Amino acid sequence: MKTPKRLKPLVDDGLIDEVKSQLMSGKEAQIYVVRCGESIRCAKVYKEAKQRSFKQAVQYQEGRKVKNSRRARAMEKRTRYGQKESEQAWLNAEVDALYCLAAAGVRVPEPYGFVDGVLLMELVTDADGNAAPRLNDLTLTSEQAIDYYGRIIAEIVRMLCAGLVHGDLSPFNVLVDSEGPVIIDLPQAVNAAANNSAGMMLERDVVNMAIYFGGFAPELLKTDYGKEIWALYESGKLQHDTPLTGRFKRSTVDADVDKVMQVIDDAREQEDERRERELAAREME
């Protein structure tokens, strides 16, 4: 295919030898299948901020460290320079998260480099060598749903032990290769220790996955891993192999209703947006 404008500099520099096809176009990026020497990889080309539908909400940016104090002040004041730096920090977040999580043993695509807003990374494939399907595109048996849910919970724990919360985890952000689930799309990942919304986001991630897998195995809807995991993390007792029960003894203190409703509303809003995008994509086929 014709080389996209954003990939031409990487082709000219020899980082990419051939652009084979476009894999998908999402809310924040376009993804292409490329050949790099003997290897087939994928190139994620991030859209400019004004073209992306995912909002860089303040709650996602909280706690992200900026080494340069001038940049930090500009980002806080939202000057033109500050907005440019915020955009760069947003793009770097996924690259940093992938390297961090891969080192921690989390099943994510292996990153190979980030150049001019283009992330080169592993192409996750199925047993036949084709691009792996998204979890949302599969029909599972009850046994598969229970197995995959357990694996996803284990990956969420590993991520948290590495200091990160995905923040936008859903069946649309999980691929399934021959060995099981692989977590993708991490530009909104948050620092668990530095972000005041991290606990809420982790619970929302778990709820999203429980709802999906619960459609195939209803007993999973009765689990409460999110609160259990976060409580163990806050108490310093969470390890990657900590046994979990899926149950949580709730406090007798009155709940923060507003916070609970925020979790529910955010989950519903994200699901509605995903359904709209999925419908639009099908209509274009």
Picking from 55-59, 85-89, 272-276, which range would have the lowest pLDDT averaged per residue?
Answer: 55-59
Show the domain range for 254.
52-108+131-284
Which pLDDT belongs to residue 181?
A: 97
CA 261 to CA 82: how far, in whole Å?
33
What's the domain count of the chain?
Answer: 1
Which pLDDT belongs to residue 119?
A: 94
Which pLDDT belongs to residue 54?
A: 47
Tell me whether residue 28 is in a domain: no
Tell me whether residue 21 is in a domain: no
State which H helix or E strand residue 42 sits in. strand 39-46
pLDDT at 71 over 60: no
**How many residues does this entry show for the chain?**
285
| pLDDT class of 283 with cuts at 50, 70, 90 | low
> Domain with 65 in it: what CATH number?
1.10.510.10
Tell me whether residue 249 is in a domain: yes
Q: Are the beta carbons of 90 and 64 closer than 8 angstroms?
A: no
Q: H-type helices in 80-165, by residue range?
A: 80-103, 142-161
As to burial, measured by CB atoms within 10 angstroms (0-12 exposed, 13-18 middle, 19+ buried), residue 282 is exposed
Tell me whether residue 75 is in a domain: yes
Which pLDDT belongs to residue 87?
A: 65
> Which tokens go with 49?
């901020």
Tell me whether residue 255 is in a domain: yes
Tens digits of residue pLDDT in 101-147: 999 999 999 999 999 889 999 999 998 999 999 999 999 999 999 99
Tell me whether residue 4 is in a domain: no
Describe the crossing of helices 142-161 and 198-214 by its angle, rounded to 10 degrees. 170
| pLDDT class of 4 with cuts at 50, 70, 90 | very high
Tell me what the mean pLDDT of segment 267-279 comes to: 67
More confident residue, 54 or 265: 265
| pLDDT class of 75 with cuts at 50, 70, 90 | very low
Tell me whether residue 192 is in a domain: yes
Tens digits of residue pLDDT in 140-198: 999 999 999 999 999 999 999 999 999 999 999 999 999 999 999 998 899 999 898 99
Tell me whether residue 26 is in a domain: no
Tell me what the mean pLDDT of segment 66-91 comes to: 56
More confident residue, 1 or 12: 12
> Which tokens go with 78?
């939202």
Which pLDDT belongs to residue 173?
A: 94
Which pLDDT belongs to residue 53?
A: 47
Q: Are the beta carbons of 132 and 125 closer than 8 angstroms?
A: yes
